[in-house]
């Protein structure tokens, strides 16, 4: 969903700004017109199968509520596999990243519908969905935490979880030690206090007004070395998180719990550039952070020799290890 939505969004925006030649515009328009039916089916699938209990809410379905060997049940459907969500999966969850993806997708469909003068009812439906999901007051009510100055997921959650070695015996097999999930506190419905890439999705989706103090808070999170900022790019999960660099199972090392992901860094960089071009009290600061992050990413890519999916940083010394998790076969 990530790459598809971003691709269509960028194409439609560039069409509006007349950034293509006449021949290119004709070819792109032809493609979008033919693809619209499939894009519509794709959108409706997400909007129905990944919907939440409340109007306008979404959550990634498929998390295992009975998992006993995961520190935090993975969310494979999101693509952010071990990124922390609520400790106890339930239908009450509200996932911030999916809300923003659905906003982006609805906005794309609305723009394409207007571009081709589709049936009014269809265009109005996508426009109404985009308007609902972009409502700043509702977003803050559902996902914003005043104390942290950050956006979070919502769900049935407790921080009092751990994996402990336990002797397990199955049938007539010899007993063996396994890492088993232990909970020492009753979970409750609340915001899930883990700052990371997901927290920045409203910033990346450009929902936050340029004059809002909340925008300043997002810039604080991005530029804080104790949270996300490193000399090589923004880490995927804050060092303040209780799950920072924690293995999710005995055999699953951290994947979205520190490694620097270039695709998300690019999206954040794009949002920073947007902020630096829009009039507002945080314009100059956004430009300064944009320049710093851009330099760090370029230096990292130059040092590696190619732009990989993600990278691990050494915990003992601040230098990028020349061994990517995804490797050059999955580079961009």
Q: Kindly report the CATH number assigned to the domain that includes residue 18.
A: 1.50.10.10
| Enclosing domain of residue 147 | 2-330
Structurally, the chain folds into a number of domains equal to 1
pLDDT per position as a tens digit, 62-119: 999 888 999 999 999 999 999 999 999 999 999 999 999 999 999 989 988 888 776 6
Q: Which long-range contacts (CB under 8 A, 24 or more apart) does 302-309 make?
A: 306/331, 307/262, 307/331, 307/332, 308/262, 308/332, 309/261, 309/262, 309/263
- Is the pLDDT assigned to residue 41 strictly greater than 80? yes
Q: Could you count the other beta carbons within 10 Å of the beta carbon of residue 158?
A: 16
Answer yes or no: is pLDDT of 328 > 50.
no
Whole-prediction pTM value? Answer: 0.89
For residues 126-132, average pLDDT: 94
pLDDT at 321: 44
């Amino acid at each position: 969903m990530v790459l598809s939505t971003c691709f269509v969004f960028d194409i439609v925006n560039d069409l509006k700004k007349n950034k293509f030649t006449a021949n290119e515009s004709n070819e792109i328009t032809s493609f979008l017109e033919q693809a619209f039916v499939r894009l519509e089916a794709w959108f409706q699938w997400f909007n129905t199968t990944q919907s939440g209990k409340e109007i306008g809410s979404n959550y990634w379905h498929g998390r295992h509520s009975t998992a006993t060997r995961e520190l935090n049940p993975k969310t494979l459907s999101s693509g952010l596999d071990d990124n922390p969500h609520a400790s106890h999966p339930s239908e009450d969850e509200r996932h911030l990243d999916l809300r923003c993806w659905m906003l982006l997708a609805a906005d794309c469909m609305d723009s394409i519908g207007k571009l081709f003068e589709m049936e009014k009812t269809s265009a109005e439906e996508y426009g109404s969905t985009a308007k609902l999901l972009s409502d700043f007051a509702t977003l803050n009510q559902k996902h914003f935490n005043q104390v942290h100055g950050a956006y979070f997921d919502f769900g049935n959650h407790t921080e009092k979880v751990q994996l402990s070695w336990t002797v397990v015996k199955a049938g007539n097999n010899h007993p063996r030690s396994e890492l088993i999930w232990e909970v020492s506190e009753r979970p409750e419905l609340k915001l899930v206090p883990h700052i990371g890439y997901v927290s920045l999705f409203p910033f990346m989706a450009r929902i936050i007004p340029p004059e809002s103090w909340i925008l300043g808070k997002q810039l604080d999170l991005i530029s804080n070395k104790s949270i996300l900022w490193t000399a090589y790019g923004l880490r995927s999960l804050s060092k303040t998180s209780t799950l920072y660099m924690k293995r999710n199972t005995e055999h699953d090392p951290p994947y979205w719990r520190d490694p620097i992901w270039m695709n998300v860094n690019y999206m954040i960089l794009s949002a920073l550039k947007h902020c630096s071009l829009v009039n507002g009290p945080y314009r100059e600061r956004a430009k300064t952070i944009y320049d710093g992050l851009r330099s760090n990413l370029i230096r990292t890519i130059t040092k590696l020799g190619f732009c990989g999916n993600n990278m691990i940083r050494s915990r003992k010394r601040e230098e990028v290890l020349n061994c990517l998790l995804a490797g050059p076969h999955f580079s961009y």
